[in-house]
Amino acid sequence: MIKSKKVTRKKLLKELEETRSNYMYAIYSIMEIRQAVGDEKSEMSHRDLVDKIKNLYDTQCKCESTESTKTKCGCGKTEDPKGFCDGSHNKKKV
């Protein structure tokens, strides 16, 4: 016969408090995510929410990859707000 390990009341209360804290953290995180994607009233299904987050992530990754291939302007005459070369130095005023 295997004896079960005795669990003290103090240990159970500590685990309960940790579980409650983790649960509240998870709930607030979910609420923040829903607010960030524009679902303040929690009307989106979980699948729709995940798809929207994935699309936002993919869009961001595509933007970052195209910016990394651009070169920064060396002459300083660019009109691009991020400092990438836009050919402004080649534009002639008439």
Distance (Å, whole) CA 17 – CA 47: 31
Contact 55, 38 (CB under 8 A): no
Angstrom CA distances, 91 to 4, 73, 75, 83, stand at: 82, 14, 13, 17
Check residue 64 and give its pLDDT: 65
Check residue 20 and give its pLDDT: 96
Check residue 3 and give its pLDDT: 78
C-beta neighbour count of 17 within 10 angstroms = 10
This prediction has a pTM of 0.47
33-92 pLDDT, tens digit per residue, is 888 888 888 899 989 988 988 888 888 877 666 655 667 776 777 777 777 777 766 655
Is the pLDDT confidence value at 1 over 70? no
For the chain, domain boundaries: 9-65
Top-confidence residue, 31 or 79: 31
